[in-house]
Structure 1
Amino acid sequence: MPIAIKDYTWEESDTDVHITVPIKGNNSSKADLFSSDEYIKVNSPPYFFEMFLYAGVDDSKSVAQLGDGVIVFKLIKKELGIWGQLSSSTLGDKDKMKARRDDAVTEKHRRIEEETEEKRRKKREKEKLALNEQMRLENEEREKIHEIKQTEIRQATEEIEDWKKKHQVLPGDEPHPAYMTGHDDGDDEHDEEDDDEVHHTPEDKKALIDKLPPPRTRQNISVTFTPRVFPTPMRESRVHEEDEWLRKQAEARRIPEIEDEDLAPEERDPFWLKDKGDSFFKGGNFQAAVNAYNTAIRLNGKVPAFYSNRGACHLKLRNFIKCIEDCSKAIELLTPPVPANASSRLRAHTRRGTAFCELELYAEGLQDYVAALKIEPKNEQLRQDAERIRHVIQGTT
């Protein structure tokens, strides 16, 4: 229950009122203050202070000063004069106090909204003035550029007119026809011969044809293409991701040398162990398959199929946590996602999603089934399983 502050002090003059409110042991900067024209409030748990003023004050000009464990209100009176008392006669009537308190809060909120709207209006006016000024400056700049262009056009026109005047052909200075036609006078006989049509005999035509070069011989050009691991054309491929995947595959194929006298020569090949584990899995001997995959991973821990297959064994053995760990490791190694590892990613997501559902973590299981559906959207069985998980989550089954 809040403790009402009673040991406040106040003093007044004809123009203002000073109220000092002590907050014992509390930080005054963290106190909640509220003031209006006729009501002030201080809330600093566990202390509480409120006062219904004797007369109205100008809240917009009044201030509150926060000190060390004390709050001082300086209230400016609306009307000059001495009050003689600080609190209103309403004090003691709970209904009237509640009504005046609600009215003060409502009036404060209305005033804040008006001030906010006024600030927005002034901001819009400033933005409008700034925009108009910017448009005016741009128009002036365009007019200057237009005037410069017109001046340059006038100068170029004047220069052309001056050049025409300087090179104008006067009467009597026309060039001789011989210069215009390109023929010399007195060579009329030669001109007539040039005007006659030239005729060629069949022999001349045959001689011209014989002089033509022979046609080019036809040849075949063999084009070879660099073989690609991925089926997509080079222009449509994601070169960086595919190169990264091929690099990981090459690293996974490198078999480290492990000194273990108990291993036979063929047991040092992790891929031979994988095939052995696959045969154990098909025969239903899941624990033996896990042992084979364990040795393969010890020899080479960068092949995602080893983890995915061991996860399938753990799923059969109901070791769901280990299944989730192995499938997560396989998905981590199956990056970047490329078409070549799509089927492996599909199996890893499906197995991990099944393990999550067995642990009743249906939301996580649904995420894996959705990821599997993105890889193979036309898989109807996956779609049905995902729908069943959604029903379980929604509680409709």
Structure 2
Amino acid sequence: MPLIVTDYTWTQTDSTVFISVPLKGARAERVDFLSTEEYLKVHYPPYLFEAFLSEPVDEDRSTAKVGNGVAVITLPKCSNAFWEHLVITTYDKEKKKEVRERALLKYQERLCSESRSKAEKQQAEKKYALETMMKLEKEERDRIVKRKEDEREKTTAELAAWQLRQRETAETEAKLKLQDQRDRQNKLKTPTEKQEKGGSDGAKVKLDERGNSEAKGQKTPALLPAPRRAANIQVRFTPRVFQTALRESRVPEEEEWLQKQAEARRAGNADVEELKDLREEGRNPEWLKDKGDKCFASGDFLGAVNAYNLAIRLHSKIPALHSNRAACHLKLKNLHKAIEDASQALDLLTPAVPANAAARARASVRRGSAFCQLQLYAEGLQDYQAALKLDPHNAALQADTQTIRDILQVSATGTH
């Protein structure tokens, strides 16, 4: 239930009524005004001020200002006359209710009208903005079209000028060629004319079978054919795979190794029944090897073993697959499997040629490491020494080999 405000004040002139309503500490943004020609309401919860005006006012020119805790409402009168009372003196509730409802209905209609006007204004602004944008886009398109036309005309003019220059050049070359032919003909006619005239010096001239003129003690030069057109012939040489000196060459072994590598990649087991459902890359051993290498690098040793297993089932003659799987088994402590894979890799890495020296060294180290972890140091030392022969400048390999020697020496002497 709102609290009715009664401590308001009002003054008037012959044309305007001024009403001051105390806001009692209410903020300005919480004050709600409603004004029609016969009704005035100021609502700021929990307070309510309403006045049923005794005379009509101009609601379109009515204003309200809030400041210093007071709301001042200015109501222009419809007729210039002094009022005896601000509000009607009747206590008829039905009449007041009717006035209030009429004022609210009129206020709602005014709000709807303002909303429609605002929407129409926004629509008009959007339409204007759209038309302006379309106009700007049209101007931009016209500008681009004009630029294209200018470029086309410029290109056409340049092409016409180039064609004209080409024609002039061709005509000039044709004239020079014709003049050259005439000069040659004139040179050929000169000895014949001298023969017919007997020569100015009385020398006897005769023509041989080739048409060359011969004078006494003198020969006229024969007309030589034009020189042949020059051209370049590209010659390519296939480089040798193994860069070794001729006296140290091991060509038969190298060719055998290359042949074995080619056969290993051709001889696949892609017709195995359970492998037919694999995708195309899943049947490519190189792709599977790369996948296994990536799994190994990321620490997924089981995933790497699975990739190498499938690659070996497809192509079992590729040494790198067995050697890399041996490295995975070393990480997983499957030492016997590591020895088996490394041995298989070394068997496939034959004949021993410089091209597979690095692979043989890696396989030997992996097998030797597995032997040493099984405390079979003598076998491990043999593999490390074989790897050291292939890579004698590897400092880490030298240190590991010396460590194994020391362990064997301590075991032999029984000292610690």
Measured against the shorter chain, the TM-score band is 0.3 to 0.5
The structure with the larger Rg is: 2
**TM-score, normalization: structure 2?**
0.41
**TM-score, normalization: structure 1?**
0.43
